[in-house]
Amino acid sequence: MIHMPEMEMWTYTNLERGSGVVRRAGVNFGAPGSRLCDAGTWWVEYPFIGESDDRDWLQMGAMLPIESNGEEAPTVFRHDSSWVADAAEGANWISASGLEGPVSLVLDLSSADEEEELPEGLTYTVRLHFVEPGTAEPGQRQFSVALQGREVITGLDIAREAGGERRAVVHEVTGVEVTDELTIELVSANNSQYEPVLCGVELVLEDDAVAAAPHNGADVTHSWAGVAPTWTERILSVLAALPFATSLH
């Protein structure tokens, strides 16, 4: 027998989303199953595989089907993890599969207990995993990424940033405010020859216990709070400050 730690190990789960706050979770697009990473995040595959397709573990019903902004839905690509040069130790499998195309996702993080109200002011660190899955050269695949309607990454060029194809890139966005849902949108640049790609999304609650835990790391870090609020956010903020605002709730 030969010890081969690089061999892939996948499973599935039918665990349901429980009550309380989501502390950390991962969604691995196009993966052949679920998997626990070394940092302690449980990653579930999407689209769901086999018997796991009736799960409600992260309450991702809002993601079914994946919204496509009226365009053709994203396609799934998948490779063996050895196909990817990883960005973090033992995490290359996250970027071995993904979605390619116009992506608009909504992750429902509300409690499974409909009577439970989650605390306000929760912030998450969101890590986005990318790879150049084809033969696009620098400048040929460029796109922006928006979280909660705010454009946090502009002109992302994976091939240029990673130095070529099949090399994983991880962008981290800190301080993302989440109440019940997290929205993620990828939009191609006007001069892009190829569609956006997204391999995985990891959510980590920003509190002392989780912050002290190990994580997969990131190549680039962005601050969500450092991005100008959208016009909708500005209008709601103004309305909330008005004397009659209490009657709106």
pLDDT in tens, 100-151: 988 888 887 776 666 677 777 789 999 999 999 988 999 999 999 999 999 9
- Mean of the pLDDT values across residues 181-198? 92
Say yes or no to pLDDT of 61 above 70.
Answer: no
- Mean of the pLDDT values across residues 187-197? 93
What span, in angstroms and rounded, lies between the C-alpha atoms of 138 and 165?
10
Share of the chain above pLDDT 90, in %: 31
Q: Which of 43-47, 92-96, 172-176, 208-212 has the lowest mean pLDDT?
A: 208-212
Per-residue confidence (pLDDT) for residue 175, from 0 to 100: 92
Chain-centroid distance of CA 160 in Å reads 21
Cβ atoms < 10 Å from Cβ of 36: 12
Domains of the chain, first to last? 24-248 (2.60.120.430)
What span, in angstroms and rounded, lies between the C-alpha atoms of 30 and 141?
20
User: Of 100, 103, 99, 119, which Cα lies nearest the Cα of 111?
Assistant: 119
Residue 171's alpha-carbon distances to 89, 145, 202, in angstroms, are 16, 10, 11
pLDDT one-digit tens code per residue, 211-241: 544 455 677 888 877 776 655 555 545 455 5
Tell me the torsion sign for CA atoms 223, 41, 168, 32: negative
Residue 190's alpha-carbon distances to 139, 146, 205, in angstroms, are 12, 16, 34
Cβ atoms < 10 Å from Cβ of 41: 23
- 63 residue type, one letter: M
Cβ atoms < 10 Å from Cβ of 229: 14
Q: What would the two tokens of residue 146 be?
A: 């928006």
**Residues 105, 199 contacting (CB under 8 angstroms):** no
DSSP one-letter code for 40: S
For the entire predicted model, the pTM comes to 0.80
**Residues 182, 203 contacting (CB under 8 angstroms):** yes
Q: What would the two tokens of residue 228 be?
A: 């100008």
What span, in angstroms and rounded, lies between the C-alpha atoms of 193 and 239?
42
pLDDT one-digit tens code per residue, 1-58: 665 556 677 777 666 666 778 888 899 999 988 888 888 888 888 877 755 444 443 3
What span, in angstroms and rounded, lies between the C-alpha atoms of 26 and 88?
15
**Residues 187, 70 contacting (CB under 8 angstroms):** no
Per-residue confidence (pLDDT) for residue 67, from 0 to 100: 42
Three-state DSSP class for 166? coil
